[in-house]
Structures are given as structure tokens and as C-alpha cells.
Structure 1
Amino acid sequence: MSQDQNETAASATVDHEGHEAAFGALLASFSTCFARSETRETFARMTRGMLMELEDVNCWSLAEAIGERGPHRLHHLLSRAVWDEQAVLERTALWAVNLLDDGDGVLIADETGDAKSSRDAVAAARQYSGSVGGVDLCQVAVHLTFATATGHCLIDRRLYFTREWAGDEERRELTGVPDELCFTTKPQLAAHMLRAAGLQGISASFFLGDEVYGGRELRTTCRELGLGYVVAVRSNHQVTTPAAKLTAARAAARLPKRAWERMRTGTGQKGVRDDDWAMIEVTADDTPDGHDPDTGTSVLLVRRHRYTRTLSYYRCFAPGPVTLARLVSLVCRRWRVEDDFQDAKETCHLDKGQVTCWNSWHRWSVITLVAYAFLAVTAALERTAQTSRNDPAETDLVTLSSHELLRLLRALMLPPPRRDAEHLLWWSPWRRRHQHHARLCHRRWHTYADTTP
């Protein structure tokens, strides 16, 4: 009986024919973004390759896995082929948003870094990144996530340049950075993506971000776009209360005991997490020109850890009345972007692009985000279907994760990596020959560098 129940549950969870149709619909949504059918087909095959189970992921390993005789088509796709990668990403975002939107979507911005071994890569510089564990040579990009109660997905990205890198004309020319681009802060990149999302017709109720995105300029942009916001701020952030102008830490210190309310912060594998929360009315300092300063609700939200008593602070604005429970739920929802980073890197190789130029970086990221959008949205819809079925055979199953769905897709939908003897014997000498040539080039360069004054 138990075995029959397991088989029934597995068959209910897996809809590989529907997944194949969904993947085809996603590809069809941006088919007109390619000038040639051969380029469109190479894109589709490379996107499928991103979802294959491979030990290492680069153009060589992807080309071998999808049955190519060399990486030349993939290199061409990333560098010189004629296709509109930004339009592909925008249509993918609309596809994902239309399937996930439940009327209460939020937009979340955060940055992530990818460690690099060479300064030759576009925007690679010694800079701080939490994902690499501190200051290191890395590329940093700001991403935008769309999240609802149904699911969440990365929908946009912008590559970040340090001020020094942006001013290096030689490196800009070598990596093909457009002349019109200049140094832009991370909050300004987030504002560009929020405006782009609005122009695409993507509607959301709130913008969420950590301390990097708590500045007045970005908060003003949110209000111009009709968004509320919940952004983390530092303890020395200045707020104006009805009583005085003071720091967030001093405002929290004046709270009476009755102002604190214990509320659920989240649910993890080890159980529920509860913290103490309080809300302080503050005067808005980010009213856009032409807007009524008395419209909306502006508050400072304070979180106190239940055990360590550590305080965290959030600047919040809502176009209308807002409850403490609503703001707490938004603070918790911000972590969806961190989940997206982890899943996109582990399943779709967002951080594996071995590319050096502006064009190639953006096209690699688009291909990975298309693959991740398909995976994340499909998993979210499967979870919704599992809940609505209310099948007794599924009551003892955890909800379907992106990782588990990917295992099923590899078994039931995706073509396996090509591993026949003829193909492997073709690739082995090809790879060794090019590695030999690369080694000779490196030696010649080092010899030239050592002897040139």
C-alpha cells in the first residue's frame, strides 16, 4: 500500500509534458528577438544545456554536452550573433510575472558577487561582496526579483562598476563597454531597474531592500513610481518623530515596553522564529516634487531579536494605512532574493560565466536567467497545484523545490548530455590541442613581458 501511495504521489507531482509545453511557450515569447533561426536554435539548446547535470559549466563543456563539434557556435552566440538580449530578458520577465502575479507582488533588489581570477574580465575589481566572503577580486551585479505568495524569480540585472574601473578607458575599450555608460551607484542601478519594470507594465505594491538601498534618492524614486517601500537602515539613520529629530537607535531606546509586540518572523527547518517588533511614526523626508507630503504612512520599524536583543531598523512607507503585521511580512519576504541567488547559481550556473567582455557577460546572464525563470516558475506552479489538489497521498510530502524539480526534469524532459564513444573521442584531442596552443601563448606572453622594459 505504501509503495502504491508513493507512486501515485510521484506521478501527481510530475507533469513533464506540461513542462515541455511551458518551456516551448517561454522560448516562443521572445522568438522574434533573433535575426536568424540558427541563432534562436543555438540559444534554445544552450539554455537546455544550462539545466543539464554537468561537472563543469563553460562554453566547452556545454558544447560537448549538447552535441556540438566545438564551442564556436556558443562563442558566436555570446559575442557576435545578432539578437536582442535585453528584449529576451524583458519578455522572460513578463512571462514569469504573468504566471506568478497574485495581485500583491513586490520587487526586491540586492547585489551578488562572482569571484574572478583575472582583472581582464569586465568590471572585475577588488571590492566587497558578501557572497565571496569579504573584499576580493570579483564582479558584482545588482539584481531585481519579483516575488509573490505563489513564488519568486529574478527578472533583471545590472553590472556594477567601481568608480576606478569606470574611469579606466583602456579596460573599457578592451571589454567593449559602451561609451555612454558611466559610474552608477548600486541604488541608482536599482532605480533604473524599477523604472524599467514600470515601463514594462510590471506592477508591484512595495519595494524591498537591505541597508545598501535605504538612501533617500531611491526611496523618492519608489514614491514617484507609486511603490511603497520597506528598506533596512543603519542605527545612526536620522528620523524625525513627532517629538524630535534623532537617530533610529535613540528613537528605539525611547519605546515603552507596551510598544513591543512578539510576532512570527519566519519558519525554518528547525521550527518557527519569533521576534519582538515595534513601529514608530516618523515624518517622511522623501516626498517627490508635486506630491502631497501628508499622503501615505511613514514609519520606522524596529526588530528586536528574541534572545540576543539585537536591534534592526527599517524605514517604511505605504501609500495608505498599513499594519505592523503587514510590514513584518514584507521584511521576511525580502529574503526571497537571497533564495533566488542561491538557486540560480546552484542550478543554472549564474556565477559560472567565463567571459571577459561586456556583450558576453550580459548574454551569458540572460541565458542563465531564462533557464532559472523556467525552473523557478514551474516549481512555484507545481507547489500551487499540490496545495490545491489536497491529495491525501501528498500530505506527508514537503513542497517541491527547484532542486527536486530539476532532478525530475533531467530524468523526464531534458535530453541527457551526449556521452557516446565517438563524440567523446572527437572532443578529447580537440580539447587537448587547444589547451596546448593556449599554453604556448601564455609562455610567449610571459617571455615577452619579462624581456620588455
Structure 2
Amino acid sequence: MEAGVPEEIGFQTKIEIALDQIRAAHAAGLPRGPVLMDAGYGPHSDLRTAVTALGLPYVAGVLSNTTVWPPGTGPLPPKASTPGRGRPTKRLRRDAQHRPVRIKDLAFSLPARAWRTITWREATNGALTSRFARLRIRIARRDFDRSEPCPEEWLLIEWPKDEKEPPKYWLSTLPKNIGFARLVDLAKLRWRIERDYQELKQEIGLGHYEGRGWRGFHHHATLCIAAYGFLISEQETIPPSAARRAPPRAQLALP
């Protein structure tokens, strides 16, 4: 049985699909905000670079083997040229004394005063609290192919006291003056996205589709998402959400 996939639709990785969706939202003029990525997307430097090129900050989960330059360190400048020895090199350098470190190793090297206990939200069973550290770093990935160091950004590390090692790390291009608690709050906002998916699948019926057609699936998904958007907008009119409800947004033209 043919699924009816349009001929112009080709294979895309999930990273390519995500970037296309971000670009479409950006082009449509949707309200701007930080792009949140879990550790399935955050380690892809091309995605982070493309998001930055759109003028959007990100908070991206990354893996413990990500390499960075700690505060006050960085790659060596390009080697000075020698007259008569060809074209001068423009690439940054490393040597035995100038090497980036894994963020896991950096976390273990931090002093006790670097860690702060922060509560980011109230949950059913009480406040959600953990221990965090943050510092300004530079990404080191393939910077030996660059002529200038990567810009500074935030590295946020979560390390609960009952864990043997930090379970989560984030990179963020949010402003340098952002509050510590606010940075944690945004990093932890991924739970809201996961909750949206859960409610869409279980309560609205997104996961109930049993057809095999491209057109039918997209009709089903569109109706589910529209219904969920309506329910969320109605929920905002019910206290306590109503007390801090944002002003109505301008309606966007439908394609």
C-alpha cells in the first residue's frame, strides 16, 4: 500500500527537520524566545550555530565529553610568520600546555563555593531543587580551524548531592547578565515540552492514529495540535493563570 508521500519530500535527519521548523517559525514572525534543546539535539554544533545565525539564543543540553576552554584559558593565537617563509597562518593553535578540557572533568575540578542550591518550580510532591554551577566558557570543537576563538557562552552543570557525578550539562547563549535562577528555570523548561507531547498523545489523541497515509496523518496531527492550542488558551483564562495572562497576540495569517 502506498503512503502517498509527495515526490518532492526527501529524507531529512531530525536535526534538519528541527532547523527547518525553527526557520519557518522565525520567518512567520512568531514571538521570539530561547530555543530549548535536549541532549539529543544540543550536541550538534551546526544546529546551535544556525540558531545563533537567526539571532536566537539557545539553552542546549550537551554530553559530558563536550570539550571547552575554562574561564581565563583559550587556544594560542596563530603562529607568527617568518619573512620569506610563505603565507602566514591564520589558524589558532594548541600545545601540551594549552588544551581544552571535557566538561565532566571541569565539573570535578570546581571548588565547593561554585555550587549553589536552586529551586526551579513546585511539583506535586514538593519543590524541585538541585545543585548547580555555572561559568563562562568557550567551545573548543575544531577551533584549530578558526582564526578567532569561539564567543563566550554559559556552561550550566547540575550535580545533585546524592549523585556520583553530574547527570546534566547545558550550553547557553543567553545574556551574560542573566540571573542564575532564571538560567536554571529555562534549562529545566524542557519538562513542559515533554508534558505537551504526553498530553497531545494521551489526552488529545495524537498517538491514536492508525492509518498509513501521509495526508491522513497530517490532517490528524493538525487537528490535534489545533485542539491542544485551543485548550491551552482556554486554560490561561482560569486562575491562577489568568492573573498573569499575556496580552492577546496578533493573529497570524493561515497558509
Same structural fold, with TM-score higher than 0.5 when normalized by the shorter chain: yes
Q: Partner residue of 1:201?
A: 29
Find the counterpart in structure 1 of residue 193 from structure 2: 337
> Matched residue pairs, number?
211
Contact 2:67 2:140 in 1 (8 A): no
Matched, 1:376 2:205: no
- Deviation of 1:325 (Å): 1.7
What is aligned with 2:87? none
Cα shift readout 1:281-331 (whole Å, capped 9, x = no counterpart): 211469xxxxxx789750211001133354111111125532322210101
User: Cα offset for 1:383?
Assistant: 3.4
| C-alpha deviation, 1:265, in angstroms | 3.2
Residue of structure 1 in register with 2:171 after alignment = 315
The answer for the alignment partner of 1:249 in structure 2 is: 104
From the superposition, tell whether residues 259 and 320 of structure 1 become closer, same or farther in structure 2 (CA, over 3 Å): closer
Name structure 2 gaps, 5 residues minimum: 74-98, 142-147, 245-255
Q: Which residue of 2 aligns with 1:225?
A: 54
Letter in structure 2 aligned against 1:267: E
Structure 2 counterpart of 1:239? 68
> Which position in structure 2 is the counterpart of 1:352?
208
Q: Find the residue that maps to 2:206 and give its secondary structure.
A: coil
Following the alignment from structure 1 to structure 2, what is the Cα–Cα distance between the partners of residues 308 and 319? 29
2:117·2:131 contact (CA, 8 Å) conserved in 1? yes
Give the aligned partner of residue 3 of structure 2: 175
Deviation by residue 1:321-380 (Cα, 9 ceiling, x = unmatched): 323222101012111111111211222101111110111111110011111111112112
Give the AA of the match of 2:101. L
The TM-score with structure 1 as length reference comes to 0.44
CA, structure 1 residues 337+226, in 2 after alignment: closer, same or farther (shift >3 Å)? Answer: same
Superposition pairs for residues 146-157 of structure 1, below 5 Å? Answer: none
Larger Cα-atom Rg: 1
1:246: Cα distance to partner?
A: 1.4
Equivalent in the alignment of 1:103: none
CA distance in 2, matches of 1:383, 1:226: 34
Q: Is the 8 A contact 2:235 2:241 kept in 1?
A: no
1:270–1:331 distance in 2 versus 1, CA, 3 Å: same
Does structure 2 retain, via aligned residues, the 8 Å contact 1:236–1:249?
A: yes
Equivalent residue of 2:173, what SS?
strand
How far did residue 239 of structure 1 move? 1.7
* Runs of 4 or more consecutive aligned structure 1 residues displaced over 3 Å after TM superposition: 293-297, 383-388
Instruction: Evaluate the alpha carbon distance shift between residue 281 and residue 347 of structure 1 in structure 2; reply closer, same or farther with a 3 A threshold.
Output: same
Structure 1 distance, partners of 2:242, 2:48, is: 38
What's the secondary structure of 1:381's corresponding residue? coil
Distance (whole Å) between structure 2 residues aligned to residue 231 and residue 295 of structure 1: 16
Aligned equivalents of 1:247 and 1:345: distance in 2?
A: 38
Contact conserved, 1:187 with 1:212, CA < 8 A, in 2? no
SS at match of 1:232: strand
Output the amino acid matched with 2:46.
E
One-letter amino acid matched to 1:262: T
- Residue by residue over 1:170-193, the C-alpha shift from the partner in whole angstroms, topping out at 9 and shown as x without a partner, is xxxx21222222221212211111
5+ residue gaps, structure 1, are 1-119, 121-173, 287-292, 389-453
Amino acid at match of 2:106: A
Q: Percent identity?
A: 28
**After the TM superposition, which residues 45-444 of structure 1 pair with which residues of structure 2 at under 5 Å, given as runs?**
174-214=2-42, 215-241=44-70, 242-243=72-73, 244-284=99-139, 297-311=152-166, 312-319=168-175, 321-384=177-240, 387=243
Residue 138 of structure 2 contacts residue 150 of structure 2 at CA under 8 Å; is this kept in 1? Answer: no
User: How far apart, in 1, do the equivalents of 2:161 and 2:215 lie?
Assistant: 48
Tell me the alpha carbon deviations over residues 182-205 of structure 1, each in whole angstroms, 9 at most, x when there is no partner.
221212211111100011101323
Q: Is the 8 A contact 2:65 2:103 kept in 1?
A: yes
Gap change, CA 1:386 and 1:324, over 3 Å in 2: closer
Counterpart Cα distance in 2 of 1:347 and 1:229: 30
Q: Contact (CA 8 Å) 2:100, 2:140: kept in 1 or not?
A: no
The residue aligned with 1:290 is none
